[in-house]
Amino acid sequence: MRTQRLSLDELQVDDAAELFAATDSLEVGEFIGGAYSPSVQALRDRIARMRAGSGRDDELWLNYSVRVTDTGDLIGHLQASVHPEWAEVAWVFGRPWWGCGYATEAVTWLIESLPSVELWATVDPGNARSLRLLARLGFTATTVPPARDVQSFDDGDRVFVRMPV
């Protein structure tokens, strides 16, 4: 799958080393409860679990690697847990690639790939970049705790939803 500057592919276990290197920084972990992953091996194991799926017919787990097409650099991970009427979405991008519009471009693609479901996201209130991204992409703040069973919700998080158009 392609956007103007990015290539999106199903996340593979063998992406773990590159994804770990891209996301291994204090800034990436600042508002997501600490390091995105503690080690390459832990990330390999986590990707393997993600690829195995939820084990439920009514919950599909989608995970995509995001690469800059020109360089091949793996710069981020898009995630969606898709239910019949709604999906929970999340993303992480490596610090060197912030501020280039890559997250906006990739998440726009994710939104377009999930056209007929509500999209839900949670965010730490201090995560200004993520708040700007959500606003830019048409998410609006909603009540806390979330009206859907959003797994990433932690006490203190803000909750955003984007209704299908």
Ligand X SMILES: CC(C)(COP(=O)(O)OP(=O)(O)OC[C@H]1O[C@@H](n2cnc3c(N)ncnc32)[C@H](O)[C@@H]1OP(=O)(O)O)[C@@H](O)C(=O)NCCC(=O)NCCS
**100 scored as a contact of ligand X (CB under 6 A):** yes
Cα angle value 135/165/156 (rounded, 5°): 35
CB of 162 to ligand X, least distance (A): 13
> b/e string for 2-11 if b means 16 or more Cβ within 10 A?
eeeebbbeeb
In order of 9, 67, 118, 129, 154, the CA distances from 40 in angstroms are 19, 18, 33, 26, 25
The binding track of 113-152 with respect to ligand X, each residue x by CB under 6 A or -, is ----------x---x-xx-xx-------------------
CB of 55 to ligand X, least distance (A): 25
The binding track of 26-65 with respect to ligand X, each residue x by CB under 6 A or -, is --x--xx---------------------------------
Residue nearest to ligand X (CB): 101
